[in-house]
């Protein structure tokens, strides 16, 4: 990913791939995995095939405060670390997530592995695998309920559980484009193994992640980067983000994004040597906008060399 290649057809490949996958799944329960808006800077958390593909070691942190000023609004933090292991041509990494979505919290720890092959003279295809566990703690009895005598909530609403899981992913990338598909959690763990009532609403559901982007160099110091990411979950509306960013001098970026029927926002990113910082603000488009001042994310990333002859990748990747 050291320079851009002038192959315009790559944009069509990425666009067709992401759009088709975005609309090919129209079935499958409520969304459970945390939702970020800066996936492009933390892809390993959703796609294990991204592990190590940047060619250097990376530590990333994203903190998201959703619907600020709304009582008990969701708050999410993630910390990831990954690096290439050149001696065996693989990538290895670890990601940690804490998601406070009252009246429940989820803590997740997963290990990631990726192996890549040459797809063409200027692109590669990476295969990823992740495994780990979620720890869910729920206190549903704290909810204000229409039926205070709901026996299911009384008997099973307060619980905690460790749930192991694993996921898979694919990630294709070249000098100026990438596209990926992943299922971070394959197992549909039941929250209560011996309970059959309300079964469909009390288990983990698979999330299908799709993402892609294309970097088009307008001038030597200006790059336009459109991108899309989507989450598809059974029984829930498609969550799709469309991103339009401009990168200046390979150091500074500004952009806007739109989440279908949900929010609009903008972001700024700054790279100083091998350190990157980003801030994003989103304004909700639904009626919840009357009760909060929006959503904010802070992103930090630090790159480091694992061997002397490595070169830091482009700011845009």
List the CATH number of the domain containing 217: 2.40.160.40
Q: Is residue 26 part of a domain?
A: yes
Residue whose entry in the numeric block shows the structure tokens 């929006």:
294
At 246 the pLDDT is: 96
Query: Is 1 part of any domain?
Result: no
pLDDT digits (tens, 9 = 90+) for 163-192: 999 999 999 999 889 999 999 999 988 876
Greatest C-alpha distance within the chain: 67
Task: Check if the beta carbon of residue 204 is closer than 8 Å to that of residue 189.
Answer: yes
Q: Residue 268 is part of which domain span?
A: 9-304
Q: Is residue 316 part of a domain?
A: no
Task: Kindly give the parts of the chain with pLDDT less than 70.
Answer: 1-34, 192-201, 307-317
> Within a domain: residue 211?
yes
Query: Is position 171 within any domain?
Result: yes
315 within domain boundaries = no
pTM: 0.83
pLDDT of residue 13: 41
| Domain assignment present for 310 | no
Asked, for residue 313, whether it belongs to a domain, the answer is: no
pLDDT digits (tens, 9 = 90+) for 209-266: 999 999 999 999 999 999 999 998 887 788 899 999 999 998 999 999 999 989 999 9
List of E strands, 26-176: 57-65, 75-85, 90-101, 104-120, 123-139, 158-174
Count of structural domains, the chain? 1
The SS3 of residue 139 is strand
């Amino acid at each position: 990913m050291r320079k851009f290649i002038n192959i315009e057809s790559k944009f069509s490949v990425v666009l067709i791939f992401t759009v088709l996958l975005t609309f090919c799944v129209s079935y499958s329960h409520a969304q459970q995995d945390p939702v970020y808006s800066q996936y492009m800077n933390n892809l390993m958390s959703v796609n294990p095939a991204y592990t190590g593909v940047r060619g250097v070691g990376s530590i990333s942190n994203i903190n998201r405060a959703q619907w600020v000023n709304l009582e008990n609004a969701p708050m999410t933090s993630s910390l990831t670390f990954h690096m290439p292991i050149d001696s065996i041509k693989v990538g290895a990494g670890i990601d940690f997530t804490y998601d406070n979505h009252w009246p429940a919290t989820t803590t997740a720890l997963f290990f990631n592995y990726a192996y890549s092959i040459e797809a063409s003279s200027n692109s590669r295809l990476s295969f990823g695998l992740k495994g780990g566990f979620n720890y869910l703690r729920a206190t549903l009895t704290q909810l204000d309920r229409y039926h205070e005598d709901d026996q299911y909530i009384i008997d099973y609403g307060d619980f905690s559980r460790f749930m192991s899981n694993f996921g898979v992913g694919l990630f294709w990338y070249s000098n100026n484009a990438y596209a990926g598909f992943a299922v971070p959690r394959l197992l549909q763990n039941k929250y209560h193994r011996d309970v059959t009532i309300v079964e469909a609403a009390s288990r983990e559901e698979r999330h299908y992640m799709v993402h892609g982007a294309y970097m088009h160099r307008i001038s030597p110091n200006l790059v336009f980067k459109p991108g899309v990411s989507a989450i598809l979950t059974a029984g829930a509306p498609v969550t799709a983000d469309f991103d339009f960013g401009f990168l200046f001098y390979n150091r500074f970026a500004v952009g806007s994004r739109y989440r279908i029927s949900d929010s609009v926002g903008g972001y700024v990113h700054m790279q100083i040597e091998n350190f990157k910082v980003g801030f994003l603000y989103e304004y909700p488009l639904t009626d919840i906008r009357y009760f909060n001042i929006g959503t904010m994310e802070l992103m930090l990333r630090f790159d480091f060399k694992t061997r002397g002859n490595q070169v830091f990748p482009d700011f845009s990747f």
